[in-house]
Amino acid sequence: MSSTKILDNKNIRLQGSITVPGDKSISHRSIMFGSIAKGKTTVSGFLLGEDCLSTIDCFRKLGVDIEVNGTDVTIQSNGIDKWEEPKEVLYTGNSGTTTRLMLGILSGTHLHTVMTGDASIGKRPMRRVTDPLRLMGAKIAGRENGQYTPLAIQGTQLKAIDYTMPVASAQVKSAILLAGLRAEGTTVVREKEISRDHTERMLKQFGANIEVREGVVSFEGGQQLHATHVNVPGDISSAAFFLVAGAITPNSEITMNNVGVNPTRAGIIEVLEKMGADMEVIEDDHAAEPTATITIRTSSLQGTTIEGEMIPRLIDEIPIIALLATQAKGTTVIRNAEELKVKETDRLSAVVAELKKLGANIEATDDGMIIQGPTPLHGGHLQSYGDHRMGMMSVVASFISSSPIEIDDTDCIAVSYPSFFEHVRKLKNEI
Ligand code: S3P
């Protein structure tokens, strides 16, 4: 186990401004779209997190020229038809987005590829992607009939499908849409609950003609993407840790600028508002993705219910929302969140187990959790489970715990927020 940290943050307050790093979902997609399109795509505000670096590594192995200069990236591609068959296995690290979206992309190429990731990826379900892709004619082989990595893909000519999503998942939706780019006919994806729409927005940005209305996305296969510039906004899923930290740590005030507030991602803002947080959200001009400057102050909070269509809009924020709820007055109920069980780790069990160690009043249910508050938290020895968001939730808990918190394996935080501890140091003031 690497990088155990002992955090003694008693008597601190958090004050100041930070710019959170680029959005992970949009950074991945900028590399994928820029590699599919022929020509030069430029990206600014790219997230240099380990997950997005895995995506860059995979496309370099396919012969795409990608240069990284700080958070600016230049992708020079001869187009998807000119990708080279990689001699090596494509390694997707800890990244579910890389693995699932690449399955969709690679299925419709002329290439044979093999993809694998780390131990966590090896346990994450892939049939949710390989099943619809096989309906499109994809040739994919893998453990347990294509459920688990390593996966071998023999690219082929695909045909479009009309698919109703059985789970709310932007990764599944995006894999089908990206496969649809190379398919004969009109691809249609129907969602009961709307998941993040970055792929749809970026398809438009790269010049594709795509129709989106009331949970139905459709577009004609065979369209060419046109290289362009992508400006990646700050990641609201990273900002979420400091939104909660600012709300629950005494005498705090934190401002974050350029935070992506795409409505399909901004559920945490609605939850903070419903719970009574002292917060200001000032929206900037709308570009391909809307952004805002957000200020949060120490707040007196009320419990709430989080369920239904809101869940996909804050799915990655549930660990930190659970910590928030331990400091809110009354009961917070989280329902319909069974997808948490198949994230980087089983986040439902992990969140409940770790917060209990600190004295929280929290119980798991079949599809979520029930939290009573407010409860003072004490110190303890926590696990990150190698999951970046569990690691950051534990660090934020140390801002309000009455004694030190020891956390095993905090290196994993670099998956989505490499400058996290630097930002903690910047905001932290001793009282
Ligand atoms: C993502 C979609 C979500 C999210 C993940 C990133 C994406 O996963 O949890 O962190 O970039 O499309 P699901 O598609 O499994 O819901």
pLDDT in tens, 58-96: 999 999 999 999 999 999 999 999 999 999 999 999 999
Q: Is 67 exposed, middle or buried (0-12, 13-18, 19+ CB in 10 A)?
A: exposed
Sole residue written with tokens 């993809």: 115
Does the beta carbon of 337 sit less than 6 angstroms from any atom of ligand 1? no
Does the beta carbon of 23 sit less than 6 angstroms from any atom of ligand 1? no
**Known catalytic residues?**
316
- Tens digits of residue pLDDT in 6-52: 999 988 999 999 999 999 999 999 999 999 999 999 999 999 999 99
Does the beta carbon of 231 sit less than 6 angstroms from any atom of ligand 1? no
What residue's CA is closest to ligand 1, atom 16?
Answer: 169
Ligand 1 centre distance from Cα of residue 403 (Å): 35
Ligand 1 centre distance from Cα of residue 116 (Å): 18
Q: Pairing mode, if any, of strands 253-260 and 291-297?
A: antiparallel
96 is in an annotated binding site: yes
CA dihedral for 127, 133, 135, 140, sign (positive or negative): negative
Give the DSSP letter of residue 191.
-
Ligand 1 centre distance from Cα of residue 170 (Å): 5
Structure tokens at 265: 């991602």
| CB 148, CB 175: distance < 8 Å | no
| CB 51, CB 94: distance < 8 Å | yes
What residue's CA is closest to ligand 1, atom 13?
Answer: 169
Ligand 1 centre distance from Cα of residue 13 (Å): 32
Does the beta carbon of 25 sit less than 6 angstroms from any atom of ligand 1? yes
Ligand 1 atom closest to 25 (CA): 11
pLDDT of residue 285: 76
Q: Which residues are bridge partners to 183 per DSSP?
A: 158
335 is in an annotated binding site: no
Alpha carbons within 13 A on the beta-carbon side of 347: 27
Beta strands in 19-167 (DSSP E): 38-44, 65-69, 72-78, 90-91, 112-116, 139-142, 148-154, 158-159, 162-164
What residue's CA is closest to ligand 1, atom 4?
Answer: 316
13 is in an annotated binding site: no
- Tens digits of residue pLDDT in 218-233: 999 999 999 999 999 9
* Cα distance between residue 132 and residue 110, in whole Å: 19
Does the beta carbon of 315 sit less than 6 angstroms from any atom of ligand 1? yes
Rounded alpha-carbon distances, angstroms, from residue 121 to 124, 271, 328: 5, 30, 34
Angle at 315 between CA 386 and CA 147, to 5 degrees: 65
Please give the domain boundaries of the chain with CATH numbers for all domains: 4-22+233-427 (3.65.10.10), 24-231 (3.65.10.10)
Share of the chain above pLDDT 90, in %: 97
Q: Report the side by side order of strands in the sheet with 210-213.
A: 162-164, 186-190, 216-220, 210-213
Q: Which residues are bridge partners to 419 per DSSP?
A: none
Ligand 1 atom closest to 24 (CA): 11
| CB 183, CB 159: distance < 8 Å | yes
Q: How far is CA 350 from the centre of its chain?
A: 18
Structure tokens at 182: 């190379």
Ligand 1 atom closest to 101 (CA): 12
Ligand 1 atom closest to 316 (CA): 9
159 is in an annotated binding site: no
pLDDT of residue 76: 98
Ligand 1 centre distance from Cα of residue 312 (Å): 9
CA-nearest of 5, 103, 116, 96 to 52 is 96
* Cα distance between residue 85 and residue 104, in whole Å: 16
Helix, strand or coil, per DSSP, at residue 389? helix
Ligand 1 atom closest to 237 (CA): 10
372 is in an annotated binding site: no
Mean pLDDT of 279-303: 95
Structure tokens at 59: 């496309």
* 196 Rama sector, left if φ>0, alpha if ψ -120 to 50, beta otherwise: beta
Q: How confident is the model at residue 287 (pLDDT cuts 50, 70, 90)?
A: confident
What residue's CA is closest to ligand 1, atom 9?
Answer: 316
Ligand 1 centre distance from Cα of residue 169 (Å): 6
Indicate the pTM of the whole model: 0.98
Pocket test residue of 27, 47, 171 for ligand 1, highest count of atoms within 8 A of CB: 171
Does the beta carbon of 55 sit less than 6 angstroms from any atom of ligand 1? no
pLDDT of residue 10: 85
Does the beta carbon of 196 sit less than 6 angstroms from any atom of ligand 1? yes
Ligand 1 centre distance from Cα of residue 54 (Å): 16
Does the beta carbon of 171 sit less than 6 angstroms from any atom of ligand 1? yes
Find the DSSP H helices in 361-419.
Answer: 388-397
- Tens digits of residue pLDDT in 325-384: 999 999 999 999 999 999 999 999 999 999 999 999 999 999 999 999 999 999 999 999
* Cα distance between residue 60 and residue 218, in whole Å: 30
Give residues with Cβ within 8 angstroms of 354, minimum separation 6: 382, 383, 390, 393, 394
| CB 171, CB 194: distance < 8 Å | no
Mean pLDDT of 187-203: 98
| CB 354, CB 394: distance < 8 Å | yes
Give the DSSP letter of residue 223.
P
pLDDT of residue 341: 98
Alpha-carbon Rg of the chain, whole angstroms?
Answer: 21
* Cα distance between residue 281 and residue 430, in whole Å: 27
**Angle of helix 24-36 relative to helix 96-107, nearest 10 degrees?**
20
